[in-house]
Chain A
Amino acid sequence: MPKKLGETLRSTRALIAYLTVGDPLTWKEEVIKVLASSGVDALEFGIPTSTAKYDGPTIRASYRRALRSGVDEKRALSLIKNVKGLKDSILFTYYDVALACGLENLMGSAVEADVECVLFPDLLIDYLESLEDYVKLCGKYNLEHAFFITSCFPHRLIAKLARLEPSFIYLGLMASSGILLPIAINRNISVVRGLVGETPLLVGFALNSPRQVSICVSSGADGVVVGSAILKLIEGGAHGIEKLKSFIAGLKEALLEGHDG
């Protein structure tokens, strides 16, 4: 039986790459191949939406391109199904989107698309009362459950989430994806680490350098998610995809060095 994503994250430091499903500029077979071969451990798939609550300009623009080219939730899920080359994947979509297209419907399609986990960034912020329902629903569909939090979450709630034994907790480091603010991420990561115990901790939002990755790992993160920085590179065309290889390799190196240290 293949290892679950949660187990993988407990045993190795993971580099996770974000891609917007169906964005004509960045959603390419070639890109996924490059990501897989240069050290990415798992993919995070974003479903295009016009209500991108916590996304910055880069991901919002990619959502808009995807929507304009006719990629809705249903089409997005069928596109994920065809992705080859990387075993592990996370579906990243807003709970709003799931409610609009039917929660059970979305979970069912996620299983068909072979993702391990559906992560809703707005679940605990706008739908805190649905926390238990979400965990049950994941169980019903044999999906792993995971939670998105920010540095402005109640400590009591973060500790409670850890007790629900998620595959991982994902800490959004910035107010919005891809927008770097002068926030002491080392401090926030170590506070959260202190609250979640052994739960795998992923961090993301505006990570774009090996130095940041080192800081994340040495502060207590088990893995990093990189999104906007990757999209920006791919938007640069063939030249950008070439650069992507060394970019990913650099991040991976920082990730593993932090691990050894």
Chain B
Amino acid sequence: MVKLPRKWYNIVPDLPRPLPPPRDPEVGDFSRIEILPKLFPGSLINQEFTAERFMEIPGDVLEAYSKVGRPTPLARAKRLERYLDTPAKIYYKREDVSPTGSHKVNTSIPQAYYAKSEKARTLVTETSAGQWGSALALACALFNLKCLVFMTRSSYVQKPYRKTLMSLYGAMVELSPSDKTEVGRKLLEANPQHPGSLGIAMSEAVETVLKNSDAKYAVGSVMNFVLLHQTIIGLEAALQLEENGEEPDIVIGCVGGGSNFAGLSYPMIGKKVEHEAFERTEFIAVESEASPKITRGKYLYEHGDTAGYLPMLKMYTVGRNHVPPAIHAAGLRYHAAAPTLSILISEGIVKPVAYSQEEVLEAGRIFAKTEGIIPAPETAHAVKHVIEEAKACRRRQTPKTIVFCFSGHGLLDLTAYEKAN
């Protein structure tokens, strides 16, 4: 069993190009960059702009990581391999074993820790599928903080138990768009049944924080510091692979904003660009055809939220007003991909692919039957591509080693599977 790594890995110093800085819009009534210290704890802003390659994980965070089950297992999908009759070896990093069932605790814990250390009393956030909201609710419970979550209406309706889960941890949950914020009221006026989007919920959370001096904003993806925290996944996985005497040919993860994909792959990509290891490894990011930013989006400066309260970041995006079709239940709805991931895609270091909801959920069913774990619909995107690669290995009779991030289980997403049946 590997030990818990003591440092996170920051990929920024190893990127092939400079990371474009956040920017304010040319015309605007206020500076979005200037409000960052009102939104985030200082330690996180510092991590966002650090020139250091490794950052120390605080002791309290390590303790909480152990509490939620880190290091997580790296499992071999032998039954899936047999089912596919493939010579490929398939490994998956089990981020589903956390109490809330996904990788999101890896960053909610440090975000709650830093907020608490800097005397915040409340953390506010948004959630769509509910995995991020529940992970933050849990972290707030561990660090005795209040938690307020804006949850997109479409998910709130589809996933009632997510709300119960967050409430059990003591979080307050608001349906988004809500009548609690200006941006929410404006949208509800136009359409009282507005399905909501992650971008809108983010705007509501940010607006709430700007109006409350003892509250901070917590963010589930996209920012450098979030991806930094998630590298705990790949740092552990690299050690576990070494223990198994494996170096993967293919590393796969699903992408909403990019945090679990980055978490697993960045420590390996860092070694690849430095020619230290993983030289032959391919990195594949899987997105949903319903929000196809990395396969069909544009690479430009865009706000992270719909209302444009946050600074603009250079990212692959389908536009911040993007709302996925109502029929889409399989997550990965966010309109843009993290700036660091966007660079890696534009430079050809990470290859993007996209799948439709039906084929993804079918892959999820195959995984459930063979490996006994129901993947979250988001995770099923990664599973879908794993299956495609494993089939290609069968056709070509080439044994490859595939590793993917099993970012979460789907026990609270059963309606998605039922709906698409």
Contact = CB atoms under 8 A, between A and B. Distances in A.
Interface of A: 50-54, 56-57, 124-126, 128, 149-157, 172, 174-176, 179, 181-184, 187-188, 191-192
A183 B45 contact: yes
B36 A181 contact: yes
A179 B37 CA distance: 10
Interface of B: 12-24, 26, 31, 33-34, 36-37, 42-43, 45-46, 49-53, 224, 311
Most A C-beta atoms less than 10 A away, residue of B26, B33, B43? B33
A128 B45 contact: no
Given A54-B21, A176-B34, A182-B45, 10 more contacts: A50-B26, A56-B24, A125-B20, A153-B13, A154-B17, A175-B21, A175-B311, A181-B37, A183-B50, A187-B52
Nearest to B16: A154
Contact of A176 (B16, B18, B33): B33
Contacts of A51: 26
B50 A184 contact: yes
Nearest to B15: A154
Given A176-B33, A181-B45, A183-B46, A125 B21 contact: yes
22 contacts: A51-B26, A56-B31, A149-B18, A150-B21, A151-B50, A152-B19, A152-B51, A153-B19, A153-B51, A154-B14, A155-B14, A155-B51, A174-B49, A175-B21, A175-B33, A175-B49, A176-B31, A176-B34, A179-B34, A182-B43, A182-B45, A183-B49
A155 B49 contact: no
A181 B33 CA distance: 9
Contact of B18 (A52, A153, A188, A191): A153
A156 B45 CA distance: 24
Contacts of A183: 45-46, 49-50
Nearest to B27: A50
A231 to B, nearest CB: 15
A149 B14 CA distance: 15
Nearest to B53: A155
B308 to A, nearest CB: 16
A166 to B, nearest CB: 16
Contacts of A54: 21, 23
Nearest to B12: A152
Given A150-B18, A154-B16, A181 B49 contact: yes
Contacts of B311: 175
Most B C-beta atoms less than 10 A away, residue of A56, A125, A152, A179? A152
B242 to A, nearest CB: 25
8 smallest CB-CB distances across A and B, nearest first, come from: A182-B42, A152-B19, A191-B51, A151-B51, A188-B51, A155-B13, A153-B18, A176-B33
A152 B34 contact: no
A125 B45 contact: no
Contacts of B22: 175-176
Contacts of B43: 182
Contacts of B49: 150-152, 174-175, 181, 183, 188
Nearest to B343: A154
A227 B208 CA distance: 33
Contacts of A181: 33, 36-37, 45, 49
Contacts of B37: 181-182
B188 to A, nearest CB: 32
A56 B33 contact: yes
B34 A56 contact: yes
Contacts of A150: 18-19, 21, 49
B14 A124 contact: no
Contacts of A192: 51
A57 B45 contact: no
Contacts of A184: 46, 50
Contacts of B36: 175, 181
A154 to B, nearest CB: 5
